[in-house]
Structure 1
Amino acid sequence: MRFPRPLPRLGLRSLPRPFPRPHRHDLLIAAAGLSCGLLLWSLDLYMNGGRLFEQRWAPLIPLVVMAAMETLRRTAPRTALITGTLVIAADQFTGGNLATMLMFTDVVYAAVLYGTPASARRIPYTTGLVTVTVTVVLLVWWQNAYALLVGVLTAMVSFLPALTGAIVRNHRDAAEAARLRAEQTALLAEMDRVQAVTAERTRMARELHDMVANHLSAIAIHSTAALSLDDAATTRQALTVIRENSVAGLEEMRRLIGLLRERGGTENEPAAAPRLAGLAALVEQARVNGAPSGLTFTLDVARARTEEKLPAPVELAAYRIVQESLTNALKHAPAGPVAVILTRDPQTLTVRVTSPYRSPNGERPGPRAPGSGAGLVGMRERVALLGGEFEAGPVPEGDPEASPEADDAKVRAKVWRVRAALPAEERTAES
């Protein structure tokens, strides 16, 4: 036996509701207003007398409808106001109920407070105009003081609730705007903090790389030589260089730790920021480290006028650029001369470091120690922070003004050049 197919279920839940679910506070207000109105009605307390509809049950209709509008005061304030206005006008033809009028004042107040911004602006002006119009018309019609009393009652029922709602809404909007500004300020402060932390981490990473990479590269090169050559004298010399670089690396680490702890140095401690005066010792250390690889190192600072004072960040950047360039030469350069030249004019301190790029037979040797590729990035960042110019790459030998970006630079190049132009006066990249 075949059963008929069941009918498809209707998606009743997907049907839109005419109004959102009333707020529970609105339901309580409506219930309280309806209860008070029923109590007044049961006690035969009316506001009007001798009206069109004298039946005892007539005031109940406006009372119930107005109570229903109270449930929509928050979710549909415009509908509640329009219907409430019609209801309060109809209530004037019955005995009248005080609870109906009080609920209407609350509907006017809610229409301004919860309605659209346009309604919040128009309702106070409209109720004020209605109050003035009613007063003037009744004065002309009745020509007695009772017209003024009716005008005052009209203002109390319509204009004053609208004005109160506008004041409360303005305060609420101002508080919300202040809260949003506070959140935005907190967000901007957090962004500034994150940027500051990121910048500080980048600076620390750059300092660590520049300080330690030189010593660790020398240690790697000489430890490889000690392991590959079975010669006691060579091994002893390599171990001596390894120890010197280990001690120097520890001193550099202590200097950085002292900076991070914000501790002032003493005369027995190394300077917190290396200066150009320390380049001679740096080149001498590179000469010792590079001797087994056939590298020779020279330093020319005569044209730099080192006796003239430079800003500390500029001297630190120049020192680190020379240090990283010497480290790269120890890692990658074939046997040959490495020259460090500093020149200065009134506006610029120029640092040039040249090293062999190809061996005499035109081949490029492999690296003697592994590298991360962060050295050139760090040098470029240092120069950019000071608003200077930086370039690094292969150039033809004997052509110091050639650009590393030239099309045939790598084909004809026998020299690797690092050039940094630093401002003699401290400034940032933005200035």
Structure 2
Amino acid sequence: MEGMAARRLPRPHRFDVYVAIGGLLGGLFLVVCRLGVRTSDDPVTLFDGHWAVLVPLGVMAGCELLRRTAPRTALLTGTVAITADLMTQGNVATVLMFTDLVYAAVLYGPPASARRIPRITGLLMVAGAVVPFAVWRVPEALLIGVLVGIVAFGPAATGWIVRDHRDAAEAARLRAEQTALLAEMDRVQAVTAERARMARELHDMVANHLSAIAIHSTAALSLDDAKTSQEALAVIRENSVEGLAEMRRLIGILRDGSGDHEPAAAPTLDGLEALVDTARANGLDVDLDAGQGEVPAPVELAAYRIVQESLTNALKHACPGRVTVSLARRDGVLDVRVTSPYGHRDGPRAPGSGAGLVGMRERATLLGGTLQAAPDGALWTVRATLPLTEGDPA
């Protein structure tokens, strides 16, 4: 029973039911009015009487129910019915329903059938004109080919044109959906990249000052010395002011000049001296060697941020000792190297999240460069190689 249910044809479309009922009622009306296509004495009419046309008419109406769900079966059965109708006085409704079956077979049938049916009906139209004319040698014989063209080839060609337009519209719709999907993916990627860029900027701008504040406030709280506390508070205030300035700069970037604060210029390697002075004021012993020449702006910004984050990490985690910063241009790359003492630290430390190392690697990768950060004996070494080409400053 389940196998029989699986093989059962789907329910006919509502429009197909209306077509079948309309064709059947129209054919019955013609029978009642005794309006046939041919007379009873026509030599083609083998079955006399107006009621002989009911069988082909009923079969053709039944085929209309399958015009969408089983178009090839409907056309084959309809061809048998139209052949039988030729042996009766004929019914215009039967002929019209057959033309609709040809049209539906091309429009709803498989692609192979849709290509094959117009060719077959075209050949039949040509044969219907040439063969009778060659046999009877009268111009009227050409009308047979004309009738075949009207009944078969015309609907088939119309179905092919409609199907072609439908397929083109469907392809255009799919392309539009694909374009919209790609645009949405690009938008999501752009938003993600922008969020990552702003996260790097926020971290690099503020982390250095907050780390200094955390370390000096811890020292001020742990030491009962008024002079030390006074010096720590001075450093804390200086870093607070500078951090606030950096936050305002970030707000200016976010506003993009649409508000009261214009975005400030991006930091350059010319500001490394000031950056190192700030690190020295925060307690680091820093030695700077910045003997590079002109470099592209994206590389300049990335190098500045890598040095800034390396000094911040040294302030939070390095042991007492000298921190060296060197920048050198060689073999088409800018080599950035920051070393700091590595080992156990007795003094106060600021907590780290690892976001700084992630941000430095992202900056180097976006420019096509590399970054390594690992202990090297008694030193912690951060080395970045940045190609001297234009890139995304991220």
- Give the TM bin, normalised by the shorter chain: over 0.9
Q: Which of 17, 20, 24 is the aligned partner of 2:14?
A: 24
Q: Which of 250, 256, 265 is the aligned partner of 1:272?
A: 265
Q: Which of 304, 314, 337 is the aligned partner of 1:319?
A: 304
TM superposition score normalised by structure 2: 0.94
Q: Which of 183, 193, 198 is the aligned partner of 1:189?
A: 183
Contact 2:296–2:389 (8 Å) recurs in 1:
yes
- Residues 194/270 of structure 1: CA separation in 2 closer, same or farther (3 Å cut): closer
Moved more, 345-354 or 83-92: 345-354
Give 1:288 shift.
1.6
Q: Which residue of 1 aligns with 2:286?
A: 297
**AA in 2 matched with 1:391:** Q
Give 1:278 shift.
1.1
Give 1:197 shift.
0.7
Q: In the aligned structure 1, how far is the partner of 2:48 from the partner of 2:127?
A: 28
Pairing 1:98–2:79 present: no
Q: Which of 366, 369, 383 is the aligned partner of 2:364?
A: 383
Q: In the aligned structure 2, how far is the partner of 1:367 from the partner of 1:68?
A: 92
Q: Which residue of 2 aligns with 1:8?
A: none
Give 1:270 shift.
8.5
Give 1:239 shift.
1.3
Please list every run of 5 or more consecutive structure 1 residues that lacks an aligned counterpart in the other structure.
1-10, 396-412
Q: Which residue of 1 aligns with 2:281?
A: 288
Q: In the aligned structure 2, how far is the partner of 1:66 from the partner of 1:254?
A: 81
Q: In the aligned structure 1, how far is the partner of 2:15 from the partner of 2:265?
A: 68
Q: Deviations over 1:148-190 (max 9, x none)?
A: 1121111100000000000000011011111111111111111
Q: In the aligned structure 2, how far is the partner of 1:78 from the partner of 1:276?
A: 77
- Residues 248/53 of structure 1: CA separation in 2 closer, same or farther (3 Å cut): same
TM superposition score normalised by structure 1: 0.86
Q: Which residue of 1 aligns with 2:164?
A: 170
Please list every run of 5 or more consecutive structure 2 residues that lacks an aligned counterpart in the other structure.
none
Q: In the aligned structure 1, how far is the partner of 2:31 from the partner of 2:50?
A: 8
Pairing 1:135–2:124 present: no
Contact 1:388–1:422 (8 Å) recurs in 2:
yes
Q: Which residue of 1 aligns with 2:354?
A: 373
Q: Which of 366, 376, 379 is the aligned partner of 1:415?
A: 379
Contact 1:131–1:154 (8 Å) recurs in 2:
yes
Q: In the aligned structure 2, how far is the partner of 1:195 from the partner of 1:14?
A: 51
Give 1:272 shift.
2.3
Q: In the aligned structure 2, how far is the partner of 1:120 from the partner of 1:213?
A: 69
- Residues 187/163 of structure 1: CA separation in 2 closer, same or farther (3 Å cut): same
**RMSD, aligned CA:** 2.1
- Please show how residues 190-339 of structure 1 align to structure 2 within 5 Å: 190-263=184-257, 271-290=264-283, 295-301=284-290, 303-305=291-293, 309-339=294-324
Contact 1:332–1:367 (8 Å) recurs in 2:
no
Q: In the aligned structure 1, how far is the partner of 2:252 from the partner of 2:316?
A: 29
Q: In the aligned structure 2, how far is the partner of 1:14 from the partner of 1:54?
A: 41
- Residues 374/276 of structure 1: CA separation in 2 closer, same or farther (3 Å cut): same
Q: Which residue of 1 aligns with 2:141?
A: 147
- Residues 21/269 of structure 1: CA separation in 2 closer, same or farther (3 Å cut): closer
Contact 1:255–1:271 (8 Å) recurs in 2:
yes
Q: In the aligned structure 1, how far is the partner of 2:334 from the partner of 2:163?
A: 64
Contact 2:256–2:262 (8 Å) recurs in 1:
no
- Please show how residues 47-58 of structure 1 align to structure 2 within 5 Å: 47-49=37-39, 50=41, 51-58=45-52
Q: Deviations over 1:305-341 (max 9, x none)?
A: 4xxx322211111111111000100111111111111
Give 1:390 shift.
1.7
Q: In the aligned structure 2, how far is the partner of 1:274 from the partner of 1:417?
A: 23
Q: In the aligned structure 2, how far is the partner of 1:264 from the partner of 1:311?
A: 27
**AA in 2 matched with 1:285:** T
Q: In the aligned structure 1, how far is the partner of 2:13 from the partner of 2:86?
A: 29
Contact 2:333–2:387 (8 Å) recurs in 1:
yes
Q: In the aligned structure 2, how far is the partner of 1:84 from the partner of 1:126?
A: 16
- Residues 424/218 of structure 1: CA separation in 2 closer, same or farther (3 Å cut): same
Contact 1:112–1:119 (8 Å) recurs in 2:
yes
Give 1:230 shift.
1.7
Contact 2:252–2:263 (8 Å) recurs in 1:
no
SS in 1 for 2:120: helix
SS in 2 for 1:422: strand
**AA in 1 matched with 2:285:** T
SS in 1 for 2:372: strand
Q: Deviations over 1:215-242 (max 9, x none)?
A: 1111110111111112221112111111
Q: Which residue of 1 aligns with 2:173?
A: 179
Contact 1:356–1:415 (8 Å) recurs in 2:
yes
- Residues 270/194 of structure 1: CA separation in 2 closer, same or farther (3 Å cut): closer
SS in 1 for 2:6: coil
Q: Deviations over 1:63-99 (max 9, x none)?
A: 0110110111011000000000110011011110000
Give 1:366 shift.
8.3
**AA in 1 matched with 2:304:** Y
Q: Deviations over 1:196-219 (max 9, x none)?
A: 111111000011111111111111
* Identity in percent: 66
Q: Which residue of 2 aligns with 1:409?
A: none
Q: In the aligned structure 2, how far is the partner of 1:236 from the partner of 1:324?
A: 27
